Amino acid sequence: MLKNVTLLKATKDGKATWRLLGPNGLPLDSFTAFADSLLRKHGFNTRNSYCRHLAIFYDYLFEYEAVLKAASPGEPLTRARLKSVLEAFDEYLVHGEDSGNEIAKLVSQSRPSTRYAAATSALMHAPLRKFLSLSEHIRQELQELSQLGMCTEGDVDTEPLLHDLHSKVPVTPSQHRAMTANSMISGVISGGPKFLKSTVLPTTSPQVSYDDSRAFPFDEIESFIKAQTTFRDKALYAFLAASGCRNHEGLQLLFDDLDISAGTVALRDPALRANHPSYLYLSPEERDLLAWKGRTTESTLLLEPFASMFFESLEHYMAKEYVPHGLHRFVFQYLKKGKEGRPYFLSSHNTRLEAFKRAAAVVGLEGVVSGPHSLRHAYGTYLLNYFPRLSGDYGLPIAFVQQLMGHAEEKSTLRYARYDKDLMQLELRHANAMVYNGAEPKSIDQLKLEALNAQVRKLQQQIGLTHA
């Protein structure tokens, strides 16, 4: 809840943007410049998140100014003090009144902190850093103009607020090794990377253990799909479960993406077909809502039985609920009276989430799963642990799972796909029994020999199968 400022949604060039009114009710030009700078390169969801998070910072800043005026009337907000206020923002967000930082504690007494998780605070600092960087660019441009006599010199601060904004620091040996291992570009730079951009307002984002509730219980998915009250929703959730795609990727499917005879579905970036008639049918504001999160492959691997449930439900949906209109080719459309035929991705996220939770409650999963994204977690976990392979093994290599989920980096996949803890415990117990059977523990050389012999037996078996 904002106390000192008011955030308003606006439109510019057919895209959603935001404006922030200060305590005096007038728009804050610095916020407007930041919000409009996001329009070219960032999607609706990112712009929405960045502007809301920056509004919280402005509210915090104005609150500190009010507290300072009340405690020390006439005392200016100096550069040093403003820097301290910036640095205290993370403490305010996470610890609030219990912080050891005096500024964070003081502000929280009159504007109580929501006490976000440390990881959330780290995310909220991303737009703040971007805002500070933009501010510094503008300051430098104004400084150049003042030197040319094109603006009043006294209106431009000659010193940056934070000297670390555009500075670089040497890469440490551990950073050098990590970057070389994970970046193709850094590997071909002569001598490897040497400098990194300095991090302004560093925050702590701890490694959080995987939360089992992220993944929809795999054995309950079929019942959940059957519990949907419309064929449209049966088809939608069957597709999300079968493909492991993101919710918006499923909602934005076009009939062009389906090959029903082959039983395949492609996921395509709207930006790569921006002039598609289905997109031109939308208003500029609606086109702005088309989302894409950088999926690296169009291909999908559809899991059974959900793939069959998808195509079967799609057939019933087309026969009994779909409104043929010729206006667009979005697969999923509104069924609600007065909006029939409109693309369903334009519907409210909260409305869809409520329907999801009602169906989850029907199959006894109330409070167990958080939303449609849990189906993506279930997909990744299944591929990693239980997917049957031609070799007789189960579970795909993480690199395969990464490709099927459309992730650019393996670490992203590991946030979705977890190794089953029960399987890991079984492996551990078996390994311990193999190494130590109540007598003397086996040496490393013994274990190496047994591992090599096991590989030889496996290869002999494969050769035998080939010749059989």
Question: Could you tell me the CA-to-CA distances from 79 to 59, 91, 378 in Å, in that order?
Answer: 19, 20, 50
| Spatial distance between the Cα atoms of 243 and 298, rounded to a whole number of angstroms | 11
pLDDT of residue 39: 93
Question: Is the pLDDT reported for residue 185 higher than 50?
Answer: no
Distance separating the N- and C-terminal Cα atoms of the chain? 71
Confidence of residue 153 (pLDDT cuts 50, 70, 90): low
Is the pLDDT at 95 greater than 90, yes or no? yes
- Kindly report, residue by residue over 340-398, the tens digit of the pLDDT: 999 999 999 999 999 999 999 999 998 889 899 999 999 998 888 888 888 778 888 88
Q: Looking at the predicted structure, is the pLDDT value of residue 75 above 50?
A: yes
Distance (Å, whole) CA 257 – CA 310: 14
The whole-number pLDDT of residue 164 equals: 57
**Per-residue pLDDT, 189:** 45
Q: Look at residues 212, 295, 287, 280 and name the one whose alpha carbon lies nearest to residue 247.
A: 295
Q: Give the pLDDT mean for 143-148.
A: 75
Q: Please determine, for residue 434, whether its predicted confidence score (pLDDT) is greater than 70.
A: no
What mean pLDDT is predicted for residues 433-457?
Answer: 70
Pairing mode of beta strands 6-12, 258-259:
unpaired
pLDDT of residue 1: 86
The pLDDT score that the predictor gives to residue 69 is 87
Q: CA-to-CA distance for 93 and 444, rounded, in angstroms?
A: 50
Say whether pLDDT at 447 is over 80. no
Residue among 291, 295, 333, 336 nearest 314 (CA): 333
Q: Give the residue-averaged pLDDT of 121-139.
A: 89
CA-based angle 123:125:131, to the nearest 5? 125
User: Is the model's pLDDT at 61 over the cut of 90?
Assistant: yes
Taking residue 53's Cβ as centre, other Cβ atoms within 10 Å add up to 19
When comparing pLDDT for 10 and 440, which is higher?
A: 10
Angle 118-147/79-94 helices, nearest 10 degrees? 160
pLDDT score recorded for residue 446? 74
Query: Strand 195-197 to strand 168-170: parallel, antiparallel, or no bridges (unpaired)?
Result: antiparallel
At residue 160, does pLDDT exceed 70?
no
Angle at 131 between CA 129 and CA 137, to 5 degrees: 105
Tokens at 105, concatenated: 């504690």
Predicted confidence (pLDDT) at residue 224 exceeds the cutoff of 90: yes
Taking the CA atoms of residue 347, residue 348, residue 353 and residue 354 in that order, the dihedral angle to the nearest 10 degrees is: -100
49 pLDDT band, cuts 50/70/90, is: very high
366: DSSP letter = T
pLDDT band at 159 (very low <50, low <70, confident <90, very high): low
Query: Predicted confidence band at 419 (pLDDT cuts at 50, 70, 90)?
Result: low
| C-alpha to C-alpha distance for 182 and 189, rounded to whole angstroms | 13
pLDDT interval class at 436 (50, 70, 90): low
The answer to whether the CB of 166 falls within 8 A of the CB of 139 is: no
Residue 177 has pLDDT above 60, yes or no: no
Closest to 85 measured CA to CA, from 201, 203, 204: 201
- Mean of per-residue pLDDT scores for the chain: 84
Instruction: Give strand pairing partners of 12.
Output: 15
Q: Is the pLDDT of residue 207 over 70?
A: no
Residue of 440 and 76 predicted with greater confidence: 76
DSSP-assigned letters across all residues of 259-304 = ETTTTEE----GGGGTT-HHHHTS-HHHHTT------S-S---PPT
**CB–CB of 417/401 below 8 Å?**
yes
Helices (H) and strands (E) in the chain, counts: 19, 6
What is the mean pLDDT of the segment spanning 44-71?
93
At residue 188, does pLDDT exceed 50? no
| Integer Cα distance of 119 and 162 in angstroms | 23
What are 294-344's pLDDT values in tens digits? 888 899 999 999 999 999 999 999 999 999 999 999 999 999 889 999 999
Distance set, CA 447 to CA 393, 423, 436 (Å): 22, 21, 11
Q: Tell me the mean pLDDT in the region 163-175.
A: 54
- Per-residue buried b or exposed e for 164-195, using 16+ beta carbons within 10 Å of the residue's own CB: ebeeeeebeeeebeebbeeeeeeeeeeeebee
CB 246 within 8 A of CB 297: no
Q: What is the DSSP letter of 74?
A: T
| Strand pairing report for 258-259 and 195-197 | unpaired
Helix (H) or strand (E) holding 12: strand 6-12
Give Cβ neighbours of residue 210 (< 8 Å, ≥ 6 apart).
Answer: 415, 418
What's the rounded mean pLDDT across residues 113-142? 88
Q: Is the model more confident about 143 or about 125?
A: 125
Indicate the pLDDT class of residue 162, thresholds 50, 70 and 90.
Answer: low
> 């440490």: which residue's tokens?
172
Q: How confident is the model at residue 288 (pLDDT cuts 50, 70, 90)?
A: very high
pLDDT at 208 over 50: no
